[in-house]
Structure 1
Amino acid sequence: MKKEDFYFDLPEELIAQHPSEKREESRLLVLDKKSGDIEHKNFKDILDYLQKGDCLVLNDTRVIPARLFGQREETGGKVEFLLLKRLDDDKWETLVKPGKKAKIGNKISFGDGVLKGEIIDILQGGTRIIKFYYEGIFEEILDKLGEMPLPPYITEKLDDKERYQTVYSKKEGSAAAPTAGLHFTHDLLKKIEEKGVKIAYITLHVGLGTFRPVKVEDINEHKMHSEYYEMSKETADIINETKEAGNRVFSVGTTSTRTLESIANDNGRVEAKKGWTDIFIYPGYKFRIVDNLITNFHLPESTLIMLVSALAGRDNVLNAYKIAVDEKYRFYSLGDAMLIK
């Protein structure tokens, strides 16, 4: 398949710059993957589509304030770092701007010297390894000095940075939020559990590769970035029991979906596991765990719209997106939601 097979026209004004006033009041487009039929709802209506015995899988990763602004100690020049991946306690793989001037051995000062760093390596692709030096607890320093790394298409500042976190976020490590989960509230999750739906948590630390465009025309040639995941035995047991009972697994977001499908074996079962995944899901893929998907609206020609198309069918998805544009749904990370049932 070609990249252009997943293109659609999107007016810029439909790219959400702010979250909805209340999380659960986002709009919800419901797509039947078999018939292609569409319904228009509010997100809190998700309760109507869940049944006793179903399982809802949530990604409990938490976004870190991964954007740091510093100065070169040698020249005083300003430099911006984006933390991508923790290699050990004090070493991180980063994106640096301006990159050409970030040489091995450069020393950087952040927050008037509260945090210092030294570039110790340059990797293929241009990312830098920085080693940090500090007194105290790194996470507390980062929380004071760092900024939330909002996606590049969000140009306005977020007043409340917790709105770019899910209410159940727990394990720090993401450079971007698992945005399908932003619509849930504690109250809505409680109602879902009261209905007899099991809630299971996995972790996938979302990398900025999720925003990288597909550059090859033949999507089979695209190389996915890798991301770290964890699944506990408790979660594996819940999912396996759900499948064995003939009930449905609702995956919240493409991150949860990629984790579940990475761990699943050929018999449609999962086990407690941790590791790195670079799974690329596109039409033709046979899902082993995920039955239904709750997601946001994705970029044209992105790996995310390809994943959604693998579950619901490309024609169904592109038709749904066209209707969403006509109905002025809000797109991307802070926008509205879609349920594929």
Structure 2
Amino acid sequence: MKHELTHLDENNQPTMVNITEKGISARYAVAEARVQLPPEMAPLFKGGEIQGKKGPVFQTAIIAGTMAAKRTHEFIPFCHQIPVESCKIRIECDEKLLVTIRARVETTFKTGVEMEALHAASIAALTIYDMCKAVSHRIVILDTKLVAKAGGKRTVFSRPLCGLVLTGGKSERMGRDKALLEYRGKPHALYLYELLSQYCDETFLSAKANQWAGTALGPLPLIVDEKPGQGPSGALLSAFHARPEANWIVLACDLPYFDEAALKTLLAQADEEKTVGTFFKNAEKGFPEALAGFYTPAAEKLFASAMDSGIGCPVKTLRGANVKLLDSSSVNLANANTQDDFGKARHEIR
């Protein structure tokens, strides 16, 4: 992949990126900075705060970071003036006096807010140094980094991203395995696997052991249900347990129209910070499309509790949960469950 500096013009002169033609979308970014305080500051750390001569250190740093986010364009030459709609800063200090600052900035605009988040975290760290330097100059600002961003061309998550194609269904109404149906010259489960593999760190099929032996799906990595017969919820839990630290993109193999454009829409708006997951909203009934969605690690506890309560339907599990719903008007999430569905989809996709 070719990488070019975007703030240089054709004459190699510095310039601001022209965003005139870019579309407006919801965007967020999360940045993190770490500050190591020396042992002599331990007596000042009480109740989650440091009380210095200049006042409460962490509270002041939060205010300074918020101000910095809103004025980033005044300090970074080619940053656009962005309408910051939300800036939330969290500061924590552990028993070793390692301070972690996490800044999340949100906007609805033509360009992203990663610089605003980085600026907020950086200024919060510098404020901590300034307010504590009277006690010690051995304070060390360790690092500042982007943790996550979404809403633009590229999405960055703080956790690994895994993909799961659900293929373990019985396909009773179709009369043959839906995972092997071909819409684009290859089994649809293989198409979805290859699509997810372009964006995910790891991708798997959810299936029974040896279910796809001797087929085009045979060589692909599997996550086998821990407890067979529990349907999609059981498959999801098995995946969550296999990679508990990961975010997951989950797709059912009976979604013939799901394509790269739909996946990009989902990834661009996925929120790993505040929700159990991000899902397209069913256009007719408003429920989350559970089998075409983005799950965070928080989903494991939700699904485990639901299964213990006898709720095996993913949609019912997600109802009332803290999820982000996306407009699905530009995405075709129709299922292919019968031979008529298959014929119609194959004709339209071709």
Instruction: Please report the TM-score for the alignment, with normalisation by the length of structure 2.
Output: 0.20
Q: Which has the larger radius of gyration?
A: 2
Q: Which structure's relative contact order is higher, taking Cα pairs within 8 Å and 6+ residues apart?
A: 1
Instruction: Please report the TM-score for the alignment, with normalisation by the length of structure 1.
Output: 0.21
